[in-house]
Amino acid sequence: MITAPVPSQRRVMVKASSAKTATPKGGKSIRAAITAVHGYLPPDVLTNAELALMVDTSDAWITERTGIKERHILKGKGLGTSHMGAEAVRGLLEKSGTLPKEVDLLICATTTPDFVFPSTANLISDMVGIRNVGSFDVQAACSGFVYALTIAAQFIENGTARKVVVVGADKMSSIIDYTDRATCVLFGDGAGAVLLEPSKKSHGIHDTLIRADGAGMPHLHQKAGGSRMPPTAETVAKRLHYVHQEGAAVYKFAVARMAEISTELMLRNKLNPGKIDWLVPHQANKRIIEATAERMKLPMDRVMMTIHKYGNTTAATIPLCLWDYETRLKEGDRLLVAAFGGGFTWAGAYVTWAYDGGR
Ligand SMILES: CC(C)(COP(=O)(O)OP(=O)(O)OC[C@H]1O[C@@H](n2cnc3c(N)ncnc32)[C@H](O)[C@@H]1OP(=O)(O)O)[C@@H](O)C(=O)NCCC(=O)NCCS
């Protein structure tokens, strides 16, 4: 494994990578492949024009500075992240002809769980009829889906699971302050899910990287509601249960780390820009995506982009990109996935696509 440069002594870094090939029972290596993808977006849409009636902003500012035009918002009493995750998983099982009882494991990446406990993965499993198998949440903010994919792939590679569902789902509208123009224009709600199975050919997840630097906490976090500052009338009055973000600091971090992890994955896997069919970037800001593609020397027509219609859906952006572009994907297409988020966290994957078009 290539060691990334450590720019600051203060940084606490956690590194891990999934083995490119595992050799379990019988000595035969297994690769995990994405064999289906599905997504869910709640029907209500919040446009830039509507936001301009709520805070001091404009469609022109949001479009120019972020690339976002609209985002979906989950409305409805009692509906949490699990509702969207379950919708995505139901569609995934249906389109792939998978019965709930065939699923060996379900992992949900989310930063907006329905409850502190039980996990949203437990709730989704119950809602779709997946029973008596493991399910758990992964929390790595906007990098959560790639973290979850990395974990899931290892269950397939070591032969302990044959069908794993990985969900990325977030109801960001539940932790966004709709009086704060610097954050409320950025986020949306949604869910995406993939099915992982042992690859029939050689396509699938070739390599992953997950990284974290907890020194990034002050720049992006939710101040109250956890064990450090449990909820009180005062924390609610001070609006401490919403996303706190220092946009410029996050922006700088995001551009640097997205490019760094993509370049490292390219080097590790002997890829050059000409060999990459699609960059699948986390969708936080169109300018961050463009800067990443530019540093990788990739033309924008090979970059998946959904931010204009969904905004930043946190753990759901990557599976929603795959779902949106599914009909354009061909067996063998080489995908480079790159994400970053609160923590700070960042993560990437090199994947070859396992099937032609949509199902
Ligand atoms: C948030 C972000 C869009 C702000 O864009 P920016 O170009 O950096 O803007 P700045 O923060 O420098 O602010 C510039 C001005 O625009 C204003 N502004 C911020 N949000 C605004 C909005 N929605 N509408 C109009 N003006 C706005 C600021 O108040 C500031 O005004 P000032 O100069 O009078 O103080 C950008 O920093 C960003 O995308 N950061 C990364 C966020 C991210 O990726 N988060 C998710 C992590 S997973």
pLDDT value of residue 357: 82
254 pLDDT more than 60: yes
Q: Please give the average per-residue pLDDT across 90-119, as a whole number.
A: 98
11 pLDDT more than 50: no
Distance 228 CA to ligand 1 centre (A): 28
Distance 311 CA to ligand 1 centre (A): 15
The one-letter amino acid at 20? K
- Is the pTM for the entire model greater than 0.85? yes
For 265-296, write each residue's pLDDT tens digit. 999 999 999 999 999 999 999 999 999 999 99
pLDDT value of residue 281: 98
Q: Which of 238, 239, 243, 198 lies closest to 220 in space, CA to CA?
A: 243
Q: What distance in Å separates the CA atoms of residue 65 and residue 133, rounded to the nearest whole number?
A: 44
Nearest CA to ligand 1 atom 20: 182
Q: What is the per-residue DSSP string for 160-208?
A: S-S-EEEEEEEEGGGS--TT-HHHHTTB-EEEEEEEEEE-SSS-SEEEE
For 223-242, write each residue's pLDDT tens digit. 999 999 999 999 999 999 99
Token digits of residue 7 = 């720019």
Is 142 catalytic? The answer is yes
51 lines ligand 1 (CB under 6 A): no
Atom of ligand 1 nearest to the CA of 341: 48
More confident residue, 13 or 109: 109
pLDDT value of residue 14: 41
Query: Above pLDDT 90, what percent of the chain?
Result: 91
Q: Please give the average per-residue pLDDT across 78-91, as a whole number.
A: 98
12 pLDDT more than 50: no
57 lines ligand 1 (CB under 6 A): yes
Q: Please give the average per-residue pLDDT across 95-112, as a whole number.
A: 98
For 175-227, write each residue's pLDDT tens digit. 999 999 999 999 999 999 999 999 998 999 999 999 999 999 999 999 999 99
For 17-68, write each residue's pLDDT tens digit. 444 444 444 556 999 999 999 999 999 999 999 999 999 999 999 999 999 9
Sheet holding 164-171, edge to edge: 32-40, 189-198, 164-171, 105-109, 134-138
Q: Which of 170, 251, 317 to mutate to test the pocket of ligand 1 (most atoms within 8 A of CB)?
A: 251
Q: Please, what is the average pLDDT of the chain?
A: 93
pLDDT value of residue 24: 45
pLDDT value of residue 18: 44
Token digits of residue 321 = 């990109």
For 105-137, write each residue's pLDDT tens digit. 999 999 999 999 999 999 999 999 999 999 999
Q: Which of 147, 82, 112, 349 lies closest to 242 in space, CA to CA?
A: 112
Cis peptide before 136 (omega within 30 of 0): no
pLDDT value of residue 359: 60
